[in-house]
Amino acid sequence: MPARPTTRLSRADLAELNTFLAVYKLRSFSKAAVELGISTSALSHAIRNLETRLGIRLLHRTTRTVAPTDAGSSLAKRLEIGFEEIGGALDEVNQHRDRPAGRIRINVLSDGARLLIAKHMPQFLKAYPEVDVEIAVNDQMIDIVAAGFDAGIRFGGTVPEDFVAIRLGRPLRWVAVASPRYINQHPPVSTPADLKSQECIQIRTGNGVVYRWEFEQGQERVAVEVPGQLCVNETTLGVELALNHVGIFYCLEERVTPWLQTGELQVVLPDWSPIEPAFYIYFPGHRMVPPGLTELIEFLKRPE
């Protein structure tokens, strides 16, 4: 039986196949367009070209959903294997370079972005000019592998299992803070239970629940479901509202250190401030570590 001729793939063919694979993984044209850095119309055009050239529909599209056809699922599974092999081959080649080069995609929660990325990234970029870094700030827990990220940064107690996890820095102190004006105009707070009669700025976590403030003194540990007229979903706004005397806010001490030093904010219940796990960077252990990630981790681990 004669051997089947090998199909030669052009650069355009590879680009269209990669575009299709992104849509298949994310089940969304708009999300795939963002990940690939192209417009939605350009992405749709590439998929149409691919389907026309192959003579078969790969995706079912409606106004709300995108789902693969049987042929699309079969093609995507083969492409995942092929592109992973290509990526591995490129990674191996990069290991022979004197200096790392390539692109790293990191998903990081907002506290980590402000306290780690903003602090250490300038020096890293200067030291490794051939490494491009994309940072997605997101407090919601996501599957970093499915979303195409090389690594994620989260608090130690929230890192998913089955990942390699490396601690970044020291354990973190959490505090309740308020402005002196607020403190002077409201009843004193001596125990966590006293917060029940205060105006607190609630915060909704990345998993969608309103966070119960945690306090610790000696062997006693309590979690308080605080009252409040206002709820936010990110630290920066909560701090700004506390500075404007709206109420008591709960956050990492490092996020409010400048205002604690100037006296614009004061710690409420300082003897109850708990020490919690540090930030951790995590990544899949079954994949080759992309060039530059090891070097970035070393920068993020640096002390103050």
* Residue 9: per-residue pLDDT: 64
* Contact criterion met (CB below 8 Å) for 199 and 228: yes
Answer with the residue of higher pLDDT: 38 or 268: 268
| 12: CB partners within 8 A, 6+ apart | none
CATH class of 11-80: mainly alpha
Counting residues of the chain whose pLDDT is more than 90, the rounded percentage is 54
Given 3-state DSSP classes, what are the helix, strand and coil percentages for the chain, each rounded to the nearest 5? Answer: 40, 25, 35
Residue in the structure block whose two tokens are 């990940």: 35
Show me where the domains of the chain are located. 11-80, 97-170+278-301, 172-275
**Dist. CA 258–CA 243, nearest whole Å:** 12
Coil, helix or strand for 176?
A: strand
**Dist. CA 246–CA 232, nearest whole Å:** 12
**CA 123 and chain centroid, separation:** 21
Fold matches, 97-170+278-301 and 172-275 = yes
Question: Which stretch, 23-27, 142-146, 259-263, has highest mean pLDDT?
Answer: 259-263
**Dist. CA 141–CA 147, nearest whole Å:** 11
Q: Which of 219, 214, 229, 231 is nearest to 269 (CA)?
A: 214
The chain-wide mean pLDDT, for the chain, equals 88
Q: Is the pLDDT confidence value at 179 over 80?
A: yes
**Dist. CA 113–CA 135, nearest whole Å:** 8
Mean pLDDT of the region 155-162? 86
Cα dist from 121 to 63, 133, 235, whole Å: 40, 9, 21
Q: Which of 159, 220, 152, 232 is nearest to 191 (CA)?
A: 220
* Residue 43: per-residue pLDDT: 85
**Dist. CA 125–CA 109, nearest whole Å:** 20
| 79: CB partners within 8 A, 6+ apart | 17, 20, 21
Cα four-point dihedral sign 190, 196, 198, 201: positive
Q: How confident is the model at residue 304 (pLDDT cuts 50, 70, 90)?
A: low
Question: Which stretch, 40-44, 59-63, 206-210, 239-243, has highest mean pLDDT?
Answer: 239-243
Q: Is the pLDDT confidence value at 6 over 60?
A: no
Helices (H), 95-129: 110-112, 118-127
User: What superfamily would CATH give domain 97-170+278-301?
Assistant: Periplasmic binding protein-like II (3.40.190.10)
Mean pLDDT of the region 9-28? 83
> What beta strand segments (E) does the chain contain?
59-61, 66-68, 102-108, 131-137, 151-155, 164-168, 172-178, 201-203, 213-217, 220-224, 230-232, 249-252, 266-268, 275-276, 279-283
Mean pLDDT of the region 225-252? 96
Coil, helix or strand for 132?
A: strand
* Residue 158: per-residue pLDDT: 87
Task: State whether CATH 2.30.29.30 applies to domain 172-275.
Answer: no
Residue 46 CB coordination number (10 Å): 20
* Contact criterion met (CB below 8 Å) for 130 and 101: yes
